[in-house]
Structure 1
């Protein structure tokens, strides 16, 4: 019988729902992996008491320094620093092969900022730490969307669309996919309405088209198609044909994805030397530590399962 892989779980912002998800999903995920939680026992006991959830006896932890008051639903520099240290240590231990993959629970970007952390989020840190162009892909079995640009103002997106940069993104994305079957086709979305209408509504599509052509030439077959008119890209007939898309900016890809598959979706970092997946939702401060409501565990369990499957590939 194959041994279960050890999965590093960074606990996220302890003022949010991450620790509750970890405690409630433990019995399910331990069936297919060995989770190692990056939190110290003192903070774990504080969270457990507030949540009125018993800590499982086999809830194995890796010490992260920190001792402070948990403030449910509050943006706080102490929780921001703690979540960063949890994530950073989990990343290092995964890099060093102690853990076989990393799964992250949600952090709060403002809490990181308050703690003096220079990164806007997980992916920014991973890019800097590994000196690699990490690619953010989100979704589930029914639909995945990769984001060419991510957490930047919408006004900055057009100036970031450059042929060489997009070509390299497409090649790295293709090489990072678990499956590269010979029939794989990936639509690349246009930036402008009507794909620019031959330049009437914008010229960015010319750069996108060149990038697609050059990437396909490098791959030696037509994997990427487009640029596709964004407003018809996710209609049912298109989704019958395509399961993986490339979006030019954050909301272009995530609005249709979350409208269709919000509860199941996960976040995957590609083009890195480690396996990293995450939930596709935030800290949910509005419901953190509150009673008489359900916390959905699907995204987290799917993220762990996907990481385990990547380990086995």
Structure 2
């Protein structure tokens, strides 16, 4: 059974409720260690009116205790969430656990706590000095993002042959797709042969570069598609041929993914010396500590990915 460190996320949100409510199922397939200390766990459980399972193993110390404020953005909750994540990463780096699973943080709370990272993936890149790849989705469809949290006007200038070639190689090596990877063009109609933009020429060169390195003899099945027209790439008759997509920018890939698989999607950090998965939803401050039944599909899928891949 895989041992997994679970960072608890923002304690003013729904993460701790997910952890407590799903512990019985989760602990039947992995050996979880929750990066929360006894004092904060007791406080959260009392507020939620939930029992603490006897085998709910916690970290001895995480960060200074604070008063949980349901649904509020606070410096204290941001600091605790970051330190919980940091503890999980250290455990994985020291091989004390096989992987980590992160529950949702609030980026503004991290900022208030003086943390300069935008989120987990940015921090992991810095921790390991590695080009972490953000892949989101579920077994029916995973989408990797070439560019992530940058303004739309900066996307086209960011598409460089060398950088995209490296991205495609790293993605193929660490995602291990068993079908051809669908690579999206940038422009409407994938540029219409240059009529609507010429970034597809760079994308095509990067695809050819990566394919020739992976399969220098050229006798393997097609590894990557040529740039697909983005507005038809996710239609049913196209989607049935692919399980892994590469999108050029955030909303190009995540808008269709969330329309199709919002409840079950997860976030996976690829191309790192450790495996990290996460739920693909936020802290849900609007329903935190209100007795609302939570959808657990994303959390359970994030755990299952570790079972299957760690």
Q: Distance in 2 between matches of 1:225 and 1:75?
A: 43
Gaps of 5+ in 1: none
Structure 2 match to 1:200: 195
TM-score w.r.t. the length of structure 1 is 0.95
Q: Distance in 1 between matches of 2:168 and 2:247?
A: 11
The answer to whether the aligner puts 1:72 opposite 2:67 as a matched pair is no
Q: Distance in 2 between matches of 1:66 and 1:310?
A: 34
Matches within 5 A, 1:1-313: 4-62=1-59, 63-179=61-177, 181=178, 184-220=179-215, 221=218, 222-291=222-291, 293-311=292-310
Q: Distance in 1 between matches of 2:176 and 2:191?
A: 33
Q: Is the 8 A contact 2:63 2:79 kept in 1?
A: no
1:155 Cα deviation (Å)?
1.3
- Secondary structure at the counterpart of residue 227 of structure 1: coil
Paired residues, what number? 304
Structure 1 residue runs of 4 or more that deviate by more than 2 Å after TM superposition: none
- Secondary structure at the counterpart of residue 123 of structure 1: helix
- Secondary structure at the counterpart of residue 144 of structure 1: strand
Q: Distance in 2 between matches of 1:6 and 1:219?
A: 33
- Secondary structure at the counterpart of residue 216 of structure 1: helix
Q: Distance in 2 between matches of 1:115 and 1:202?
A: 42
Gaps of 5+ in 2: none
- Secondary structure at the counterpart of residue 225 of structure 2: strand
Q: Distance in 2 between matches of 1:148 and 1:65?
A: 34
1:83 Cα deviation (Å)?
0.3
CA shift digits 1:182-221 (9 cap, x unpaired): xx21111011111112222212111111111111111114
1:178 Cα deviation (Å)?
3.7
TM-score w.r.t. the length of structure 2 is 0.96
CA shift digits 1:235-262 (9 cap, x unpaired): 0011111111000011111111111111
Q: Is the 8 A contact 2:45 2:51 kept in 1?
A: yes
CA shift digits 1:77-103 (9 cap, x unpaired): 100010000001100111101111100
Q: Distance in 2 between matches of 1:227 and 1:32?
A: 39
1:154 Cα deviation (Å)?
1.2
Question: Aligned-residue CA RMSD in angstroms?
Answer: 0.9
Q: Is the 8 A contact 1:178 1:310 kept in 2?
A: no
Q: Distance in 1 between matches of 2:289 and 2:158?
A: 40
1:141 Cα deviation (Å)?
1.0
